[in-house]
Structure 1
Amino acid sequence: MVSSMAINMDDSRSFLTEKHLLFKQSIREFLHKEASPFYDQWEKEGGIPRLFWKKIGDNGFLCPWLDVEFGGAGADFGYSVVLAEELEMVGSALGGISIHSDVVAPYIASFGTIDQKHRYLPKFITGEMISAFAVTEPGLGSELANIRTTAIKKDGYYIVNGAKSFITNGFNADFLIVACKTDLDAVPSHDGISLLLIDKDTPGFSRGRKLDKEGQESSETAELFFDDASVPIGNLLGEEGKGLSYLMQKLQQERLMCAIGSLMAAKDMLDLTVNFIKERKAFGKKISKFKNAQFTIVEIATDIQLGRTFVDGLICKHMKGEKIITEVSMAKYWITEMSKRISEKCMQLHDGYGNMGDYKIARRHREIPVTTFYTGSDEILKILIAKNIGL
């Protein structure tokens, strides 16, 4: 294991206590046994087995922040950070577990009724139920205010029509939070958006093909279709017409989770590359002894150290309940772009071996680019940041 300052930083992270580090060790050992040996096979098969979801739930790693009333441990956000980082160190396709645990579940915990919480959250924790968050639509991308999926009240139900695309966990999800337009005449239009809880066996709901992606093949991304889907009115999450407000409230944590994952991917690429160039030779000496390779590694390690300092500061502020959506948006776009740059540099240092499918760096190189579109493209985030800083 490489022992540079840029890689071993746990001791200096102020929000991590001894209990967090014990949790980290526990989940790392679990993933080393139950995920790492099988990850490449899952990528070839295009999916993560439900048995793995059940195992990670049975071991108490899902939604540790939930109240004891629903089966959680009442833990702080630091445990979510540890979970996301350890999952990412295995592979980016495991990010769907973090979406389930720290993106979908918080919506129900914050806005759900007591009945909704008891109906879903205990099964989230055990891994018995897999969840997905369905907002993105074909042709719309990041335009949340222009959602076209409609949900019209009729005889005690919402009749839902429309489609969603690029939905992580969508192919095998037992349950979805779906953003819909419930008031077609609302002015402004985003006032008419609501969130519905939709179960997999809902009449009129169907899934399209499992999307064939370039990277993260075992992350089961899908198209979803609603053709007069009948959703009980009691499955409304929170208040009708407040959907966009709820989305905006939760984007801070969602974007922070994305930045955390991308930073860990960069760290992993650095580890892989340092270990590789210490072993490989060219012109009779180790690649690590060439100045060009050393300078490249120093640049990568510096980027990661700066990113880690920035993100750890945001984690601490987020844990204190501070509103930092502008800073988190900056971190998300900058770190995902940084990870893309690092992947190119690391591939170059691996030379021809970087294109070999059995080298993890090649998989990393395929996984990284799509992260720049998560929770809003770079361009959308820059527009929002510009507005927030008074431009």
Structure 2
Amino acid sequence: MQRNIFNEDHDAFRDSVRQFIAKEIVPNLPDWEEAGCIPRDFYRKTAEIGINGLQVPEEFGGGGIDSFLFNTVVYEEIGYAAASLGGFQVHLNTVLPYFLEYANDEQRNRWFPGFADGGLVSAIAMTEPGIGSDLAGVTTTAVREGDDYILNGSKTFITGGINADLVIVVARTSRNTENRRSGLSLIVVEAGMEGFSRGRNLHKIGMKSSDTAELLFENVRVPARNILGEEGNAFSMLAHNLPQERLSIAITAQATATAAVDLAIDYARERVVFGKPLTDFQNTKFVLADCATELAAGQALIDQALVALDAGTLSPADAAKTKLFCTEVQARVIDKCLQIHGGYGYMSEYPIARLYTDARVTRIFGGTSEVMKSVISKSMGL
């Protein structure tokens, strides 16, 4: 179905991004997966073509673009190339918005130029060992002592945590027994602060080019000027950015599922079974027709959500519906496309195998499918 949310500027930008991906990402992805992370100079290279600073104000070297559609182009094209760059995508789609929304003038002057030129890499640390979806149960503490906070605790499953120069840490700065959500703050920890250490780069079944870290904080003295936004108000601040984060995950899910269908079609055309191409069999045609129909429905959801996001009207429930539907479709579609590949689909050198393992986590991070259903049902008064 024809899309009408992009204009000529988006199309020209898409061409540039597609060429960049073909040159800088596709041939290097196997090495990055082997290394378990993206090299730091990649952030500089993406900055050179304007990707990093799209939404950073012009006065700091960015593009000053309010719309999320240019970001969408980037992450669609990464997905269409059958690639997943989790740390990079979290850095720009999930973490940067917190700085854009809540950083004060001093923080903007200190950090925004690094976001724009690729000199700074960021991550956000919410999940703790034993504490996942229940964010109100955070046990990491930040105690005010003069002009500093003393930070203690640990975080796990932190996407981009190995590369990050700046880590937004969700920590408890006060305790309210009547309201568990109250008293959480966002503290920006900088690389090199004494007492801040990184554990191992966690080994995952997918998303292997994305560094995923354990982070440890032992009496880390963080200047009070590094608090982001209002002390004690982290829960509402995190909720404010969730619609964009969840829509971003849906966009990647949709794009990678689209890539899977393209790969399956190409393979089925070349694969000869019982003397004729696999595409000649009715079952193959019907399976791919089902996939195409589900993808069309997902694309319609995403495009409607993107319009609402730019208008400032995307609700948590609608973002949850989009993430839930598109990630579940991603799982079904990629599984069917791997099946079309037969035994070859199970071989790691085939891109469909990478798409299959990468896809599994999208129904977990950014809020599990079960959490999405809870958000949706709550909006229905249930």
Q: In structure 2, the residue corresponding to 1:190 is in which secondary structure?
A: coil
Cα deviation digits, residues 132-165 of structure 1 (max 9, x gap): 0111111111111111111111122111111111
Q: Which residues in structure 2 correspond to 1:40-55 (within 5 Å)?
A: 40-55=30-45
Residues 360 and 135 from structure 1, CA distance in 2 versus in 1: closer, same or farther, beyond 3 angstroms? same
Q: Which residues in structure 2 correspond to 1:74-223 (within 5 Å)?
A: 74-75=64-65, 76-185=67-176, 187-223=178-214
Q: Which amino acid aligns with 1:53?
A: Y
Q: In structure 1, the residue corresponding to 2:162 is in which secondary structure?
A: coil
Verify the 8 A CA contact 1:63 1:80 in the aligned structure 2: no
Cα deviation digits, residues 74-107 of structure 1 (max 9, x gap): 2221101111112223345313222111221111
Q: Which amino acid aligns with 2:222?
A: V
Verify the 8 A CA contact 2:346 2:353 in the aligned structure 1: yes
Structure-2 separation of matches of 1:302 and 1:328: 21
Verify the 8 A CA contact 1:277 1:287 in the aligned structure 2: yes
Structure-1 separation of matches of 2:122 and 2:80: 22
Q: In structure 2, the residue corresponding to 1:136 is in which secondary structure?
A: coil
Deviation at 1:14, TM superposition (A): 2.0
Verify the 8 A CA contact 2:264 2:340 in the aligned structure 1: yes
Deviation at 1:344, TM superposition (A): 1.4
Structure-2 separation of matches of 1:116 and 1:189: 29
Cα deviation digits, residues 226-256 of structure 1 (max 9, x gap): 1111111111101111100100000010000
Structure-2 separation of matches of 1:16 and 1:183: 46
Q: Which amino acid aligns with 1:38?
A: N
Verify the 8 A CA contact 2:86 2:160 in the aligned structure 1: no
Q: Which residues in structure 2 correspond to 1:261-280 (within 5 Å)?
A: 261-280=252-271
Structure-1 separation of matches of 2:330 and 2:46: 28
Q: Which amino acid aligns with 1:364?
A: L
Verify the 8 A CA contact 2:305 2:314 in the aligned structure 1: no
Q: Which amino acid aligns with 1:255?
A: R
Q: Which moved more, 1:165-174 or 1:39-48?
A: 39-48
Residues 1:251 and 2:235 aligned together: no
Cα deviation digits, residues 253-309 of structure 1 (max 9, x gap): 000001001000100000000111011010011100100110000000000011001
Q: Which amino acid aligns with 2:59?
A: E
Q: Which amino acid aligns with 2:52?
A: L
Verify the 8 A CA contact 1:151 1:180 in the aligned structure 2: yes
1:66 maps to what in 2?
Answer: 56
Verify the 8 A CA contact 2:176 2:182 in the aligned structure 1: no
Q: Which residues in structure 2 correspond to 1:220-369 (within 5 Å)?
A: 220-369=211-360
Structure-2 separation of matches of 1:239 and 1:218: 34
Structure-1 separation of matches of 2:58 and 2:43: 20
Q: In structure 2, the residue corresponding to 1:390 is in which secondary structure?
A: coil
Verify the 8 A CA contact 1:39 1:91 in the aligned structure 2: no
Deviation at 1:57, TM superposition (A): 1.1
Residues 1:25 and 2:22 aligned together: no
C-alpha RMSD of the superposition: 1.2
Q: In structure 2, the residue corresponding to 1:151 is in which secondary structure?
A: strand
Structure-2 separation of matches of 1:44 and 1:91: 17
Structure-1 separation of matches of 2:231 and 2:274: 68
Q: Which moved more, 1:182-191 or 1:260-269?
A: 182-191
Q: Which moved more, 1:66-75 or 1:266-275?
A: 66-75
Structure-2 separation of matches of 1:255 and 1:119: 28
The ranges of structure 1 where at least 4 consecutive aligned residues each deviate by more than 6 angstroms after the TM superposition are: none
Q: Which runs of 5+ in 1 are unaligned?
A: 6-11
Q: Which amino acid aligns with 1:388?
A: S
Q: 1:373 aligns with which of 338, 344, 364?
A: 364
Q: Which amino acid aligns with 1:309?
A: A
Cα deviation digits, residues 322-380 of structure 1 (max 9, x gap): 13211110111121111111121111100111011211001111111011111111111
Deviation at 1:186, TM superposition (A): 5.3
Q: Which amino acid aligns with 1:67?
A: P
Verify the 8 A CA contact 1:63 1:124 in the aligned structure 2: yes
Q: Which runs of 5+ in 2 are unaligned?
A: none
Q: Which amino acid aligns with 1:365?
A: Y
Structure-1 separation of matches of 2:63 and 2:39: 25
